[in-house]
């Protein structure tokens, strides 16, 4: 008997974040059926880099805009409809929260403390990446402050 091999689909996604009153908050979005909370992610667009494709997903699915950090912070996998999806994750310091965006009618969004967000997302790998990203966000924020870039409260 031969074993069925699952197709591996490459995706990219972001952890959109902001710092409010010294606390790191991340933006989660609902799945289209509003069954669970996830991060913005999707298939990599032909001709786009992973970070650029991730930025596009953030705009389409969550209505947030910012400069995606090009350093990958992790990779996780999930299964859906017989395929394996491998998601390359990047940090997105949110500069603008839009009132209207392509999937506004299909999704909800919520800002949460990073630890709370890690508790409610599905998938242990994603939970771990969220938990460990907290230190990376702190380091990046400190670098931004030291370079004179002001962080925005969005």
pLDDT of 26 reads: 96
pLDDT of 141 reads: 72
pLDDT of 118 reads: 94
Cα–Cα dist 98/111, whole Å: 14
Cα–Cα dist 55/65, whole Å: 7
Q: What tokens appear for 26 in the block?
A: 């991340």
Q: What tokens appear for 28 in the block?
A: 């989660």
Cα–Cα dist 81/77, whole Å: 13
Residue pair 83/75 in contact (Cβ under 8 Å)? The answer is no
Cα–Cα dist 59/40, whole Å: 9
pLDDT of 149 reads: 55
| Blockwise average pLDDT, block size 10, the chain, 154 residues | 72 96 93 91 95 98 96 92 93 96 96 94 90 82 67 52
pLDDT of 150 reads: 53
């Amino acid at each position: 008997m031969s074993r069925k091999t699952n197709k591996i689909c490459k995706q990219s996604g972001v952890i959109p974040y902001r710092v409010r009153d010294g606390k790191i908050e991340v933006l989660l979005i609902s799945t289209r059926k509003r069954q669970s909370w996830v991060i913005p992610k999707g298939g990599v667009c032909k001709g786009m880099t992973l970070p650029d494709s991730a930025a596009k997903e953030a705009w389409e699915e969550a209505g947030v805009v910012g400069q995606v950090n090009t350093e990958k912070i992790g990779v996780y996998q999930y299964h859906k409809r017989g395929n394996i999806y491998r998601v390359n994750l990047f940090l997105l310091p949110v500069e603008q929260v839009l009132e209207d965006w392509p999937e506004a009618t299909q999704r909800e969004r919520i800002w949460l403390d990073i630890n709370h967000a890690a508790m409610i997302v599905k998938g242990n790998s994603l939970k771990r990446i969220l938990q460990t990203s907290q230190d990376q966000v702190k380091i990046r924020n400190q670098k931004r402050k030291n370079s004179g870039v002001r962080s925005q409260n969005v």
